[in-house]
Structure 1
Amino acid sequence: MKTKYILLFVFILSVFTLTSFNSIQIEGVEESKDKFVVVLDAGHGGKDPGKPSKYGYKEKDIALKIALEVGEQLGKNPNIKVVYTRKTDVFIELRDRPKIANKAKADLFVSIHCNAHHSQAYGTETYVMGVGNTQRNFEVAKAENEVIFLEDNYQDKYSGFNPNSPESLLGISVVTEEYTDQSILLASLIENNFADMYQRKSRGVKQASLWVIHQTAMPSVLIETGFVTNQAEGAYLNSSKGQTQIATAISKAIFEYRDQLGGGYIAEYALTDQISEQIDTLPENSIVYKIQIAASSKALETKPYNFNGLDHVTREKEGNLYKYFYGATSNYNLTKDLEDEVKRKGYTSSFVVAFKDGKKISLTEALKTAAN
């Protein structure tokens, strides 16, 4: 009888302990909402092998190994939560990848891929959503979007979207992205790390109409980590050393991005004295030139951390859009300096606009008036 009571006591104690442990686990899950959430998307997988390589390198395998390594490095920080779109060699539909990120209420979405070309091209490039579809960018977007053809009923799922049609790409480009600025910041940090840490050729930050990052409700990038069609770079991508270095460059960029936004990032580059003087001493009723760098349906604070470290950013509302401008000068010749600066910060699609008496006018009209 005594033995029965002892066993009963042990059982009750065990249940209580397990219940307490489960409560702690549940609280931990709730607390993770306060963490910085990063969704890592290993491109392709399963029946979708990714870019072909005559050297036998498989994009889907390389992308997965890099994503897992990035996740392992990020996971060492207790304030970061990592979510994967896939952790094994499985096929994930294109539309489900951003859904995973949106459901996780992620702070960042990072999609990892390898590039391909008919030549021995090499180097890294990181893409953000945008309308900058050059012919080369169109080819990249087409290749990354074509995975939908492997899905059943893709015509219905993607509302008639056709990756082979420039018009379809334009259709997803014209939707204003609220997170373009932050996406470009992260992309710039990644490309800088590739070049500075491991002396790799960076082909820069680029804009293209990519479905997977178009559908995310957070800053998002798609990284082309190198060319599997280049014999030497393909071997590097396929090696454990190369994968570790690539993952380190990416994870370090994510840490830097988080620290910059969380710490109130201050611009590394100050305006020249000449431009600063122009801003401070603009003549009344003069024609003013600014550089338009972004447009958004959301009113962002004009703080440097929202604009890749750029100070002197102003915001104007036009219809349902907020437009963001950098700098201000009455000397048109100085706009080249302003443009050079914003391009260094990743705003490659920026352009000059003119204002008179606070109202925007055409550049032709501004230059004609100034000439008179």
Structure 2
Amino acid sequence: MRIRRNYIIILLSGILACLAMLQPDSLYASPTDKTFTVVIDAGHGGHDPGAIGKRGREKNINLSVALKVGRLIKENCPDTKVIYTRDKDIFVPLHRRAEIANNAKADLFISIHTNSIASRTAQVSGTETYTLGLHRTQENLEVAKKENSVILIEDDYTQQYAGFNPNSSESYIIFEFLQDKNMAQSVNFAQLVQKQFRAENRTDKGVHQAGFLVLRETTMPSVLIELGYITNPAEERFLLSDAGSSTLARSIYKAFLNYKQGKGKDVSVPQPQQADRQVETEQPVVTEEATTSRPVFKIQILTASKVLPKGSRQLKGLSPVDYYREGGLVKYTYGAETDYNKILRLKRNKVDSKFSDAFIIAFRGEQKMDVNQAIKEFKNNRK
């Protein structure tokens, strides 16, 4: 019996050895040989045309560029897996697009769109790339509203998106409290995309943040690209042309190569000059009030990818200011009070006229905290 068992063990060992010689890659692949997965999302589709121009529809432009980007990656990056949320003219709900990326455990999510404005007489043009966050301008909010409004034609959208109203400004405050661990990598890729667009002489409208539902649920670095304005006749002709869509696709592909080769490293944020540290410190200013355990309220006025020079025009004359770092970004604040009513009056009297989208945040010591919890504690302390 023992001899028979030994014979079986020897036989199985021989079979495994033969299989290893025949199929070394599948059985003994190196644990470091991980395929890079990118999900390319062509916005809109099917009965959702997206923005409509005089000659074309956004859904077709998006799909054309998305397929060309995917084709370039497939042809030149054998170690990369390309997945499309749609590769033909069909409707895919926003939440489903994120599910596709999450289920694939993607390393990067690229959502491709085409911009528009209500007035066709204005010659607005240019490309811009968005990452997830709270809008900083009314224009950014309007772009998010436009792209998010697609949920209104989805079944049971109120349940699927927890009552989110894409046309209500109040709904977008939720994006401020999202802690996106992939923010730095997302901003990095967005900057690479815009750099390539500039190299092709496209008007650069920059990198922005806004509350896009399609990015909210993704668990990897994600961006939403606006290729140009279909409501601008000249830009529409470019977007609809084979040469135009190929140029845009090539730019996104080159940005992808640079990002992948750099492995999505965080955006480098230069350190401030020593002279700036008197009013701008890396951590929130610790005042006498802040040394207590009570929350300290501040007004967030601006987000930047790097530390601004002292007296920057972007601060619109507010001084002294403070900043903190979060998600690879530099976020500027003004004022510091344990009294919520005082900071609210300061915002209304001195900040709102300069920064219409400023909002109040809270810290406990050097740690940012939920502002709603901070307000609740403030009310309790007054009793």
For the superposition of Structure 1 and Structure 2, which TM-score range results when normalised by the shorter chain? Answer: 0.5 to 0.7
Partners of 1:141 and 1:266 in 2: CA distance: 24
Structure-1 residue corresponding to 2:196: 193
Partners of 1:290 and 1:135 in 2: CA distance: 29
Partners of 2:209 and 2:166 in 1: CA distance: 16
- Name the CA shift for 1:189/1:157 in 2 (closer, same or farther; >3 Å): same
Q: Secondary structure at the match of 2:38?
A: strand
The 5 Å alignment of 1:60-71 reads 60-71=59-70
1:206-249 per-residue CA deviation (whole Å, 9 max, x = no partner) reads 11000000110011000000001110100100111011110111
Structure-2 residue corresponding to 1:87: 87
Structure-1 residue corresponding to 2:281: 290
1:3-50 per-residue CA deviation (whole Å, 9 max, x = no partner) reads xxxxxxxxxxxxxxxx99xx8997799989811111000000101111
Structure-2 residue corresponding to 1:229: 231
Shift of 1:352: 5.6
Shift of 1:261: 2.9
**Contact 2:136–2:210 (8 Å) recurs in 1:** yes
Q: Secondary structure at the match of 1:127?
A: strand
1:254-311 per-residue CA deviation (whole Å, 9 max, x = no partner) reads 111122237x6895x9668xx2x669xx8xxxx5732579xxxxxxxxxxxxxxxxxx
1:295-348 per-residue CA deviation (whole Å, 9 max, x = no partner) reads xxxxxxxxxxxxxxxxxxxxxxx9xxxxxx9999xxx98475999xx9xxx988
Shift of 1:178: 1.2
Aligned residues: 291
Partners of 1:31 and 1:83 in 2: CA distance: 22
The 5 Å alignment of 1:33-72 reads 34-53=34-53, 55-72=54-71
Shift of 1:152: 1.3
**Contact 1:354–1:360 (8 Å) recurs in 2:** no
- Name the CA shift for 1:131/1:292 in 2 (closer, same or farther; >3 Å): farther
- Name the CA shift for 1:32/1:243 in 2 (closer, same or farther; >3 Å): farther
Pick aligned residue for 1:351 from 327, 332, 338? 332
Shift of 1:149: 1.1
Shift of 1:170: 1.4
- Name the CA shift for 1:333/1:200 in 2 (closer, same or farther; >3 Å): closer
- Name the CA shift for 1:354/1:44 in 2 (closer, same or farther; >3 Å): same
The 5 Å alignment of 1:255-334 reads 255-261=257-263, 275=273, 289-291=280-282, 334=310
**Contact 1:38–1:81 (8 Å) recurs in 2:** yes
Structure-1 residue corresponding to 2:248: 246
| Matching residue's letter, 1:56 | R
Listed as ranges, the gaps of 5+ residues in structure 2 are 1-18, 285-294, 296-303, 316-322, 337-364, 368-383
- Name the CA shift for 1:199/1:160 in 2 (closer, same or farther; >3 Å): same
Partners of 1:166 and 1:266 in 2: CA distance: 30
Shift of 1:350: 2.4
Q: Does 1:174 align with 2:177?
A: yes
**What do you get for the CA RMSD once the two structures are aligned?**
4.0
- Name the CA shift for 1:114/1:175 in 2 (closer, same or farther; >3 Å): same
- Name the CA shift for 1:28/1:92 in 2 (closer, same or farther; >3 Å): farther
- Name the CA shift for 1:132/1:46 in 2 (closer, same or farther; >3 Å): same
1:141-189 per-residue CA deviation (whole Å, 9 max, x = no partner) reads 1110011111111112111111011111212442221111111111111
Structure-2 residue corresponding to 1:149: 152
Identity %: 38
Partners of 1:28 and 1:49 in 2: CA distance: 47
Q: Secondary structure at the match of 2:281?
A: strand
Partners of 2:49 and 2:30 in 1: CA distance: 37
Q: Secondary structure at the match of 1:95?
A: helix
Partners of 2:107 and 2:218 in 1: CA distance: 10
- Name the CA shift for 1:140/1:354 in 2 (closer, same or farther; >3 Å): closer
Partners of 2:107 and 2:134 in 1: CA distance: 23
- Name the CA shift for 1:67/1:243 in 2 (closer, same or farther; >3 Å): same
Normalising by structure 1, report the TM-score.
0.67
Q: Secondary structure at the match of 1:171?
A: helix
- Name the CA shift for 1:333/1:66 in 2 (closer, same or farther; >3 Å): closer
Structure-2 residue corresponding to 1:369: none
Partners of 2:92 and 2:105 in 1: CA distance: 19
